[in-house]
Amino acid sequence: MIEIINLSKKFGDHQVLDSMNLDINKGETTVIIGRSGVGKSVLLKHIIGIMKPDSGQVFIDREDISRLRGKNIVKFRLKFGMLFQGAALFDSLSVGENVGFSLFEHTNLNKAEIYKKVKRALQLVGLEGIENLKPAELSGGMRKRVGLARAICRDPEIILYDEPTTGVDPIMGDAINHLIRELHDKLSVTSIAVTHDMTSAYKIADRIAMLYQGKIIATGTPDEIKNSSNPVVHQFITGSSIGPITNN
C-alpha cells in the first residue's frame, strides 16, 4: 500500500533520512523503531505529506504524494488518521468537538451525522458518554484515547501513531497497546507506528523496521527482530549502552 523509495531529507548539515527504502503492506501494522532524534517522526511527516523530501518518492496506492499540492494534498490526507505524541487536543473545544473536528472542517455532513460518528469512535476506545467534557477534565490516558477516537472517527484507510505510549504509565501504556491491536483487528486498517518502546513494538506490530543513520537496516516480524544477529538491532532492543550505536 505504501512504497518509500530512496527518500532523503537533510536539515542543515544533518542528514536525517538517507536514500531510505521501505514497503508497508496493506492491512498490516508496521512499527518503526529507533533512538530518539533518529528521524522517525520526520518519516511520518513525509508519509502524510506534511514534509517534502529533498529527493526520493513516497507512493501511496501508487500515487506519488510528494507531487501533490494545494487542495489535492488536503484531500489526500483525509485517507489518514493520526495519533500525536501528546494527543494534541484543542483545549477550548469539547471532547466531541475534538473527535469530530476533521469532519466539521472537511465534510458536508450535518451535526447529527457527525456526532453519530463521534459517539461510535468514543465507544470503540471505551469512552462512551464524555462528549461534553473538556480536555482539561481528562487524565493523560483518557486524552490519549480521545486522540485515538479522533484518528479513527473519519474511517481512515491508514492510521499513524507517533510514540503512542509516551507520557502514560506502564499500565496505561499496555492498555493503549491493547486498544491499538484491537482497533486494527476490528477496522482492518493499515497502521504505522513509530516508537522507541520495545514493549509496545512487540505487542502491536505485524512487522518491525529499524531506522538507523537515515536508513532502514532491518525488517522482520517481532520474533525475527528479537532474534536478529545485527549488532545495532540487538543493542537497541536490549537497551545496552555498550556497543556500536552512536548519535547521528
Task: List the strands of the sheet with 80-83, edge to edge.
Answer: 80-83, 158-162, 190-195, 29-33, 207-212, 215-220
Which residues of the chain are under the pLDDT cut of 50?
Answer: 247-248
For residue 246, the model assigns a pLDDT of 52
How many CA atoms lie less than 13 Å away from 64 in the CB half-sphere?
10
pLDDT at 60: 92
CA–CA separation, 157 vs 134, rounded Å? Answer: 28
Q: Summarize pLDDT for 204-244 with one digit per residue, the tens.
A: 999 999 999 999 999 999 999 999 999 999 999 998 766 55
pLDDT of residue 166: 84
Q: At what angle do helices 170-187 and 140-152 cross, to 10 degrees?
A: 10
Q: Go through the domains of the chain in sequence order and give each one's CATH number.
A: 2-238 (3.40.50.300)
Q: Which residue has the cell 501528546?
A: 86
Could you say which DSSP state residue 49 is in?
A: T
- Euclidean distance between CA atoms 155 and 81, whole angstroms: 8
